[in-house]
Amino acid sequence: MLREKLKQELDRLNEDQLKKIADFISLIESESTQVTSSFVPFWQTATPAERAREFRDWISQLPTTNVSLSDQAFSRDRIYEE
């Protein structure tokens, strides 16, 4: 549906407008290629100490509550109850 609508819109444009759209598409494609080819995940380059520090920092940002599960929730009998 969208593809057909875009085709109709493109058919109405003049050459100058089509050139601008072609340039824009080229820009998007080149940015997409640069991002994917140069991106290296943190965990691939970080040392174990850096990964641990990053994990602790992430944990410290989680919301804290004083709510805990009851002792029954940890009971094996409750888990395998029939």
pTM beyond 0.85:
no
Cβ neighbours around 46 below 10 Å, total: 13
Residue 12 has pLDDT above 90, yes or no: yes
Q: Give the model's confidence band at 15: pLDDT under 50 very low, under 70 low, under 90 confident, else very high.
A: very high
Tens digits of per-residue pLDDT, 39-73?
788 888 999 999 999 999 999 998 888 888 888 88
Q: Extract the tokens encoding 8.
A: 């109709």
Q: What is the pLDDT of residue 35?
A: 60
Biggest distance spanned by C-alpha atoms of the chain: 75
